[in-house]
Amino acid sequence: MKRLSWFNATSLTLGFAFLYLPMVILVIYSFNESKLVTVWAGFSTKWYGELFRNDAFLEAAWVTLRVAVISSTIATVLGTMAAYVLVRGGRFAGRTLFSGMIYAPLVMPEVITGLSLLLLFIGIGLDRGVLTIVLAHTTFSMAFVAVVVSSRLVTFDKSLEEAALDLGCSPFSAFRLVTLPIIAPAVISGWLLAFTLSLDDLVIASFTAGPSATTLPIKIWSSIRLGVSPEINALSTILIALVTIGVITASLASKRALMRQQAEEMAAERT
């Protein structure tokens, strides 16, 4: 096994320090007693208590969660369909336009997406609220799902599907029994990606949210525009902790699934 060279070890250490130090400081200072965020005045969890008494934040968190679950589920269904069409659909009229519309939202500046959707909603007279945020989030996150799922579809063996069809499966049950189990990890990570994109989004939600529905990022935004606050530090710490637990659990689960698969393959080879 090769050892890391001095140069590579230094660049990795500095790089990860740069990536993680700001968040570590944020977490530490969320336990600060003082109202002044940058002056340490002793350990306290009082800002967490304040946070849970703040109804506006809790209300916004609930809206955000609902929007994220609904929009990421619809986006996963539509994105998987789109990926299937792109990879397996062959040629059809307007394919170039279709793949362009799939990939463009990945890099489209959020201000443009947000503005255009708002003008559409006003044009058709749709009241802004949870529904409009869900529609907006579904549209931009289905592109991400489509990319993740199509990269899995490209690598898997088409003859498995064809075998199922030859053996009398209908196209739908071939998809359900053969294709879906194989692409399931990509579909799940697509859903997770869509879910976090929706939780995280400020700009598109600012355009498409109405007075009846405020999401957590909009709430955080209006509070931090005025400067740093210990309550936001506490909220950030909770969100960072949730994401960390989620990502580590997901990666352990996928590692275990991979190991099980390898064990099964080895067992199959032996027989």
Binding positions for another protein, 169-228, rule CB under 8 A: 171-172, 196, 199-200, 202-203, 206-207, 217, 220-221, 224-225, 227-228
Q: Which helix (H) or strand (E) holds 265?
A: helix 230-270
CA torsion through residues 39, 40, 41, 46, sign: positive
Rounded to the nearest whole angstrom, what is the least distance from the CB of residue 59 to another protein in the complex?
Answer: 18
d(CA 33, CA 42): 5
Using the rule CB under 8 A, which residue among 56, 58, 100, 177 binds another protein?
100
156 binds another protein, rule: CB under 8 A: no
Between 109 and 211, name the residue whose CB sits nearer to another protein: 109
Residue-wise DSSP of 157-210: -HHHHHHHHHTT--HHHHIIIIIHHHHHHHHHHHHHHHHHHHHH--HHHHHH--
Residues numbered 66 to 95 that lie near another protein (CB under 8 A) are 78-79, 81-82, 84-85, 89, 92, 94
Question: Which SS3 state, helix, strand or coil, does residue 216 take?
Answer: helix
Is 236 a residue that touches another protein (CB under 8 A)? yes
Q: Are 142 and 82 contacting, i.e. CB atoms less than 8 angstroms apart?
A: yes
CB of 36 to another protein, least distance (A): 8
**Of residues 42-71, which lie at the interface with another protein (CB under 8 A)?**
none
Q: How far is the CB of 229 from another protein (least distance, A)?
A: 10
CB of 161 to another protein, least distance (A): 13
Identify the three-state secondary structure at position 92: coil
Alpha carbons within 13 angstroms on the beta-carbon side of residue 150 total 20
Considering only residues 135 through 154, tell me which ones interact with another protein, judged by CB under 8 A.
135-136, 138-139, 142, 154
Q: Interface with another protein includes 123 (CB under 8 A)?
A: yes
Least Å from the CB of residue 117 to another protein: 5
